[in-house]
Amino acid sequence: RKEVEQDPGPFNVPEGATVAFNCTYSNSASQSFFWYRQDCRKEPKLLMSVYSSGNEDGRFTAQLNRASQYISLLIRDSKLSDSATYLCVVNPLGDTGRRALTFGSGTRLQVQP
Amino acid sequence: NAGVTQTPKFQVLKTGQSMTLQCAQDMNHEYMSWYRQDPGMGLRLIHYSVGAGITDQGEVPNGYNVSRSTTEDFPLRLLSAAPSQTSVYFCASSRSTAGVNTIYFGEGSWLTVV
């Protein structure tokens, strides 16, 4: 089983739609969680961190469910510019130990006019 | 703001050739890493470093070497290129691996081995 799993999509949605992605992780000791966005042929960039209590940044809402070991990303009022691949990222130990961030393979979103 | 700079952006190698992908960051970050990204497989960690003089293997280290002689630089060496090493390579850095620390990526290096 992969440490971090995502539905690869693509999710094809019309402009203005609400779309949600889930990401499951296998290491119950994981402490830090993030969503990164990657545009085609570009480097990943941080979209938002995911906090235990859930957090919102404009049209984007991230939530963490530790009991079921998944994080989610909700995008409201989708824009054409939201079209990208969204990467789920987990810090497996959450400390300064010698493990590194683990990336999901990404969920592709295509917003259509 | 330079951030993370990696070169070259594109490279074609013949099987058996060696080369070095350069990576430099100007943010005084302790942690640096190299990933490769292949279709459907996401980013996979090759090697990483938690500080100057310290390196460690990631998930897919075979065929690659790294060194960290300074805080700023973290080159990745392909010892004898193979077609299986055709990929997009990303160098990344962050202040540390603890807590909520943004990881910054270079723009990527597209490598083709023929």
A61-90 pLDDT, tens digit each: 999 999 999 999 999 999 999 999 999 998
Residue B32: the pLDDT is: 92
Provide the mean pLDDT of chain B.
92
Q: What percent of chain B has pLDDT over 70?
A: 94
Q: Please name the helix (run of DSSP H) or strand (run of DSSP E) that holds residue B75, with its range, or none.
A: none
Which residues on chain B are in Cβ contact (under 8 Å) with A3?
none
Is residue A98's pLDDT more than 60? Answer: no
Tens of pLDDT along B4-36?
A: 999 999 999 999 999 999 999 999 998 899 999
Dihedral sign for Cα atoms in the order A14, A72, A45, A56: positive
**A79 near A89, Cβ under 8 Å?**
no
C-alpha to C-alpha distance for B42 and B60, rounded to whole angstroms: 13
Which residues on chain A are in Cβ contact (under 8 Å) with B45?
100, 102
**Closest residue in chain A to residue B43, using alpha carbons only:** A103
Nearest to A62 by CA among A39, A92, A32: A32
Candidate from B33, B98, B107 with C-beta closest to A96:
B98
- Mean pLDDT is lowest, of A4-13, B38-47, B85-94, for B38-47
Tens of pLDDT along A13-42?
A: 999 999 999 999 998 888 789 999 999 989
